[in-house]
Amino acid sequence: MAQAQQGGPDEKEKTTALKDLLSRIDLDELMRKDEPPLDFPDTLEGFEYAFNEKGQLRHIKTGEPFVFNYREDLHRWNQKRYEALGEIITKYVYELLEKDCHLKKIFIPEGYGVIVLNPNENYIEVEKPKMHKQSSCDGTDEPAEKRERKDRVSKETKKRRDFYEKYRNPQKEKEMMQLFIRENGSPEEHAVYVWDHFIAQSAAESVFFVAHSYGGLAFVELMIQREADVKSKVTAVALTDSVHNVWHQEAGKTIREWMRENCCNWVSSSEPLDTSVESMLPDCPRVSAGTDRHELTSWKSFPSIFKFFAEASHAKSSSHKPALTRRSHRIKHEEL
């Protein structure tokens, strides 16, 4: 009994240390420490994919669509493969925009030398600089207790680093750090920057927005910061499964009123395209995008969006606003 009592503090300390260690272990990563190298092709052909005449991504040999789970039970590896392919497709689409649509690629901010391909990732990744260990004095002037505490912290730090190298970083990946792009460090900043430097200065008299998901939140933030300018230049806004919230973003009454008249949100829903969907927020009307898949809401609702834009443009020229709450021009599936 006495021995058990004497060993109590030690057992408690061991238990605490074990809990701390377990809290740092990512079991998924631990199970995948033997995954293949994260070395992927840098071309579509290397991935054995190509776009067909309909613009669909298909496997060159099998003709099948993209398969995420290329290797079973290797989620992290599959995710990295997916991201690598996504980077290639992003560049491919931008090349099409320049070649077929005659759009111009502009680097932002001016003189920065980095183009923002995806406003949801407004940063570049650079290798994290290695911390140079400073040579400390012999510590003869320091109390023994302080030196002992320093040694203990140093050993703990080394244990954590070794643990990371062995389990959490099996591919010996370089530690990276994010450098946010000046004046474009967030989607909201990016939207305001593009507005100030490009849209506001353009000769276009009628501007139309299509904002998907978080893009809707960025647009509302743009309105909050540039309300008068947006109202004078923007004719209509199509949101697709937008995640904006006029209450949380503290959009004023005049903004909410303008959105009710000039915006429409095509949301994910199993209802037919353009079916009215109730909303708890006092902003723009919500209608079904004709799909319950978030990532397809823009694609599925494009026919209705362009018709909505055409009506808004005609209404502007004739000084009449289109009716948005009950869509009378519901598009049937056979017309698509």
Which residues participate in catalysis according to the annotation? 213
**Omega into 282 within 30° of 0, i.e. cis?**
no
Rounded Cα distance between 118 and 102, Å, is 20
DSSP state of 185: S
Q: What one-letter code names the amino acid at 4? A: A
158 Cβ contact list (under 8 Å, min separation 6): none
Question: CB 104: neighbour CB atoms within 10 A?
Answer: 6
> Quick one: angle between helices 214-225 and 253-262, nearest 10?
130
CA dihedral (301, 306, 312, 315) positive or negative: negative
Contact assessment for residue 295 and residue 261, using Cβ atoms and an 8 Å cutoff: no
**Which among 94, 126, 112, 106 has a CA at the least distance from the CA of 183?**
112
Rounded Cα distance between 319 and 230, Å, is 18
Contact assessment for residue 50 and residue 44, using Cβ atoms and an 8 Å cutoff: yes
Rounded Cα distance between 221 and 236, Å, is 16
Q: Is 230 helix (H, G, I), strand (E, B) or coil?
A: helix
CA dihedral (39, 40, 46, 48) positive or negative: positive
Query: Cα separations (Å) of 239 from 136, 206, 263, 331?
Result: 59, 17, 7, 18
Rounded Cα distance between 270 and 272, Å, is 7
171 Cβ contact list (under 8 Å, min separation 6): 35, 37, 38
Residue 187, token pair as written in the block: 């989607």
